[in-house]
A and B are shown apart, each in its own frame.
Chain A
């Protein structure tokens, strides 16, 4: 079990507070900069603009730098850094439905990635851009956010079970 700077008893109270402050800061700056991951690739493909793309690429580099920094400072909080060296190469960090073979997780990366890119560019933004647009007063973006909320419950109650059952029938069980 990984341990961070705060002990468990305090961390359980700190989680909503710290993440709320983080979100406020990110939301404020995202509105000011028009931050968008999908938009970065789109603007580069259409006009060779790199402004938004630089934001997303910086995020990847900065997260590596940040994890590296805190891996030095608080090693116990970064148990499996650098993931590719501490576990099997194609095993993902937990988050997707568990209990399937490595090949299934490659599919789970490739197919949703492609579809999210395609859908989001047609909608005009990635999830964070649409969330920010909802706050700016765009009603269609607000409906997108409500869809995400409904989707959360649907996924937990039904879809995750279907996906795991389907993958196991197709022979992708662990």
Chain B
């Protein structure tokens, strides 16, 4: 019999493995659809960083400023929009704080501007597809072929990006 200390060690290793979180998100996304779909669609919408950010921002703007920005039916019908991104922000903050990994890291102003503009661009691209890489995975699991196409071209994009990164490193070493 493993001692309770060993069990705890195994559990903490398991909790820190990405595959465990992947399995958890998949099952929980299906569970949340089974639980909440009466409030409205779309399907395969259990977890998505881009769409849920859109729902949160547009939903709260609609409530506060009385606008009619578009958002998913589930967030429109519910008393408040989906809050998963708020949860991710708080959960990750707590995890970083508890484990002493929270540290303010500044970059130069130019980098901040680039990241801000890329945030706008990535969100818009994700909305044109109708999801971020996570909803693409959920949609693939739900049986959507177009989402599989998204994942395939994303992999090609990433490989091309890594080539750019490698090239950049080489140039740095030459200088």
Contact = CB atoms under 8 A, between A and B. Distances in A.
Interface of A: 2-8, 11-38, 40-42, 45-46, 51-52, 54-67, 69-70, 73-74, 77-86, 89-97, 105-106, 108-123, 126-128, 131-132, 134-141, 143-157, 159-160, 163
Contacts, number: 511
A150 B143 contact: no
B87 to A, nearest CB: 2
Nearest to B161: A121
A152 B123 contact: yes
A60 B66 CA distance: 38
A30 B70 CA distance: 29
A61 B140 CA distance: 9
Contacts of A51: 17-18
Contacts of A95: 42, 45, 51, 72, 129-131, 135
Could you say which of A2, A29, A95, A106 has the most chain B C-beta atoms within 10 Å of its C-beta?
A95
Contacts of A62: 22-27, 141
A11 B134 contact: no
A134 B72 CA distance: 25
A32 B37 contact: no
A141 B124 CA distance: 17
Contacts of B95: 27-29, 31-32
